[in-house]
Structure 1
Amino acid sequence: MKKALITGANKSIGFEAARQLLQQGYYVYLGSRSLANGQEAVEKLKAEGLHEVEAIQIDVSDPESVKAARAAVGEKTEVLDVLINNAGINGGRPQNALTASLEQFKAVYDTNVFGVVLVTQAFIDLLQKSPEPRIVNVTSGMGSLTLHNDPTWKYYHNKGAVYHSSKAALNMYTVVLAYELRDTAFKVNMVDPGFTATDFNQHRGTGTVEEAGKRVVKYAVLDANGPTGKFVSEENNPETGEIPW
């Protein structure tokens, strides 16, 4: 049975991705900053008949928490097949370039960028033992520099110096990660789940968590012929999924 770790999986898109992976026969380590919230999410899944799941306490912005999570998972398995770096925060509004505080930047980058680095580096040894390791970094179309400079883009006026720049930084980290792992069995991709109605945006999104979860999981279960190092946003490009940097 293949095994997956999903950060920020106690609700919303992460929770739905866990559900869909379970439905496909994966064992899921459901990462949650609050262990109580994670256990509550696990019970919801088990009530649906999805039993191959357990909660793992992990605050991706806390190096000691990530280290403890790695130790906990390492006691349960020697191999990890999928890592979905889903945990993220938006940093609140406004996020103007001239007035956003350094505290805003640091808080968002601690989770959205440095947290991904911490978790990926902590679990890479378990992933390397998988015959088909997959890493999905959940990003946003808002991290595209090209689209943000296109006045015809539907989200052109949705600017944010903090959150959007954190996703652009995450994209660059993922490009380098995919490059370094290019001669291995790894598939490493960035997936934008789309503007999804969740707590993250006060349910202003137009997409469903089911569709968002499907977009993420699609790249977690790629076969050997699947792509790597791609920036994918099916909302912005329904035909091929790929969007410009």
Structure 2
Amino acid sequence: MSEANTEAGRPPVALITGATAGIGRVVARELAARGMTTLLGYRNRERGERVAAELGADGRVIPVHLDVTRESTIAAAAEWIEAEFGVLDVLVNNAGVNVGSNVPSEVTAEDMRQVYETNVVGVVATTHAMLPLLSRAEAARVVNVSSQLGSLALASAPDNPWHSLLAYHSSKSALNMLTVHYAREFADTPMKINSVCPGRCATAINDFTGTRTPEQGAEVVLRFATLGPDGPTGGFFNDEGRIGW
């Protein structure tokens, strides 16, 4: 996929959810720098407009109201993209939350609902709303921002060093399953759908305790958002390559 142009010479259009901070903000900035029209998904209008103005990019960063837990905003965003562009080339499902105890038996049902509503149901709602637009693209790319914490292979290893975050970890396992099923459905099309792990980056989701920068974490997202025609689909990747499911 060309980073700057698609059919008829138009700039590709990319939508990033949860794009006002952290990895999402970096991805929006970098895709715009590569010539894409970048739609910066936000929940808070003031913040969304401020971040879009800060990123500048000669007007290529456009704030779009989209709360993945409110289907009315998803539908409105899809309608607006349809009217303005008629197509969507890249969807980055980046929005995510993390709540609940480190002790599985102390995680409440409400914790699970809150996390799954954003990290899983929100991805389904957003992806389904955007699929008609993605299907019109010459070679659409969907990137689901996951985590190796959702890997059953790694989580079940005897030497697994991670704290247990039942809601968050299992939501990323579910997200990976979504990736597999969507990729299988569209396997005979140019669309490519992958899960990526940016690593433990210093962002609000971990109270900025991560050891990597958002810029470092964004690199794998950007690579799969601009994946060429020979790239994989239906996989789970980090900087080093494939991750075991």
TM-score (structure 2 length as normaliser): 0.93
Deviation >4 Å, runs of 4+ = none
Q: Does 1:6 align with 2:28?
A: no
In 2, are the aligned partners of 1:20 and 1:214 still within 8 Å (CA)? no
Match of 2:118 in 1: 111
Give the deviation of 1:82 after TM superposition.
0.2
| Residues 35-50 of structure 1: pairs in structure 2 closer than 5 A | 35-46=45-56, 49-50=57-58
Shift of 1:35: 1.7
- Counterpart residue number, 2:5: none
Aligned to 2:129: 122
Q: Deviation digits for residues 44-100 of structure 1, max 9, x if unmatched? A: 111xx4421110001101111111111122221101100000000011x41432221
1:123 offset after TM fit, Å?
A: 0.5
Note if contact 1:95-1:162 (Cα within 8 Å) is conserved in structure 2. no
Counterpart amino acid of residue 228 in structure 1: T
Structure 2: gaps of 5 or more residues: 1-10
- Asked if 1:67 corresponds to 2:75, the answer is yes
Match of residue 211 from structure 2: 206
User: CA–CA distance in 2 between the matches of 1:18 and 1:65?
Assistant: 19
User: Which residue of structure 2 aligns with residue 51 of structure 1?
Assistant: 59
Partner of 2:184: 179
Q: Distance in 2 between matches of 1:157 and 1:26?
A: 37
Whichever structure has more helix as a proportion of its residues is 2
Q: Is the 8 A contact 2:102 2:163 kept in 1?
A: no
Distance 2:58 2:96 in 1: 25
Question: Normalised by the size of structure 1, how large is the TM-score?
Answer: 0.93
Residue 243 of structure 1 corresponds to: 243
The aligned residue for residue 221 of structure 1 is 226
Q: How far did residue 101 of structure 1 move?
A: 1.0
Q: For residue 174 of structure 2, give the secondary structure of its aligned residue in structure 1.
A: helix
Tell me the CA shift for residue 229 of structure 1. Answer: 0.6
- Rounded Cα–Cα distance in structure 1 between residues aligned with 2:58 and 2:196: 25
Q: Deviations over 1:176-200 (max 9, x none)?
A: 0000010000110001111001111
What does residue range 18-167 of structure 1 map to in structure 2 within 5 Å? 18-46=28-56, 49-91=57-99, 93-153=100-160, 156-167=161-172
Give the AA of the match of 2:142: I
Structure 1: give runs of 5+ residues left out of the alignment: none
Shift of 1:13: 0.3
**Deviations 1:86-145, CA, capped at 9 Å, x for gaps:** 000011x41432221111100100000000000000000000010110000000010001
The verdict on how the C-alpha distance between 1:209 and 1:157 changes in structure 2, with shifts beyond 3 A counting, is: closer
1:17 is aligned to 27
Q: Counterpart of 1:98 in 2: which secondary structure?
A: helix
Query: What secondary structure does 1:188 align onto?
Result: strand
